[in-house]
Amino acid sequence: MIRNHFPYLDKVLSFLVVSSFILMIAVVVLQILARYALPWSPNWTEEMARFCFIYMVSLGAGLAVQDRGYVSVNTLLDKLSPPARKRLEIIILIFVIILMLTMFVVSIPLAQIVSLQISPAMQLNMSIMYVSMSCMGLFVSIYSILQLLERIKTA
C-alpha cells in the first residue's frame, strides 16, 4: 500500500464516495416506497440514483488504486519471477497513467460540448455528469503515479 501522500484528498474523496452511496440508497428507497405506498412516484429518482452511482465510481476509482482494491487477474503475474513481476507491474501502471491522462484531457472538451444539454428529469446541466470522467482520469492518474513511484523505489 502506498504511503498517504494526500491525506486531505483521501478524506474528501472518501467522504464524497460515501455521501454519494448514501444518497443513492436513499433515493432508491424513496422510489420503492413511493411506488407501493404513495399514489405518485417522483420521476427524478432514477436519474438521481444514476448520477450518484456515476460519481461514486468515478471518485472511488482513485481510492481503489491507492488501496490496490481493484480487480486484477494475477495468473500471468504469479508465474513470473519477482523482478519480472515488478517490471510488468511498472509497465501496466505506465499504460494506466497514459490511458487516464488521455481520458482526463479528452473529457474536458467533451464536458464543454454537452454543456448545452439538460438532463430530462432533474433539469441539470449535463456537463456536470461528464466532469465525472475528468475526475476519474485525474484521480486515477494521481494515485497510479504514486503507485508507480513506490514500485520504482522498491525495485
At 90, list the grid cell. 511498472
Residue 50 counted as domain residue: yes
Burial class (CB in 10 A: 0-12, 13-18, 19+), 19: middle
Give residue-wise pLDDT tens across range 29-62.
999 999 888 888 898 999 999 999 999 999 999 9
| Residue 2 belongs to some domain of the structure | no
The answer to whether residue 1 sits within a structural domain is: no
Give the pLDDT band of residue 4 (cuts 50, 70, 90): low
Residue 68: band (very low, low, confident or very high) from pLDDT cuts 50, 70, 90: confident
Distance (Å, rounded) from C-alpha 152 to C-alpha 9?
23
Torsion 129-131-133-135 (CA) sign: negative
Within-domain flag for 89: yes
Q: For residue 122, is it within any domain? A: yes
Please count the structural domains in the chain: 1
Residue 150 covered by a domain: yes
Task: Indicate whether 31 belongs to any domain.
Answer: yes
What integer best gives the mean pLDDT of the chain?
A: 91
| pTM check: above 0.85 | yes
Query: What's the pLDDT score for residue 3?
Result: 58
CB 87 within 8 A of CB 77: no
**Could you tell me the residue range of the domain that residue 46 belongs to?**
7-154
